[in-house]
């Protein structure tokens, strides 16, 4: 199987949980208390999302993250 890189955005919520979101896969996110567990769960959820995804679906392309000062 061909490996693919995915961009993962990780944030810490107000209760201390680490939350991972994969922008390239709609609805693909998970959470954990430690970074090691988060990465493990993120790999699992990516695999699940890929299995559910239809081949013909148009996938958004992740472009980047910007910091905007106001």
Instruction: Read off the pLDDT of residues 17-61 as tens digits, 9 standing for 90 and up.
Output: 999 999 888 899 999 999 999 999 999 999 999 988 765 566 667
Looking at residues 9-14, what average pLDDT do you find? 96
Please tell me the predicted confidence (pLDDT) of residue 41: 98
pLDDT at residue 55, rounded to an integer: 56
Q: What is the pLDDT, as a whole number, of residue 24?
A: 87
| Overall fold of domain 1-70 | Double Stranded RNA Binding Domain (3.30.160)
Strand order in the sheet with 18-21: 9-12, 18-21, 29-32
């Amino acid at each position: 199987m061909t490996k693919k890189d995915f961009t993962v955005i990780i944030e810490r919520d107000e209760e201390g949980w680490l939350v991972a979101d994969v922008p390239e896969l709609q609805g693909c996110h998970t959470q954990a208390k430690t970074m090691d567990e988060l990465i493990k769960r993120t790999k699992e959820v990516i695999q699940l999302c890929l299995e559910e995804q239809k081949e013909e679906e148009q996938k958004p392309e992740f472009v980047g993250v910007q910091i905007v000062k106001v």
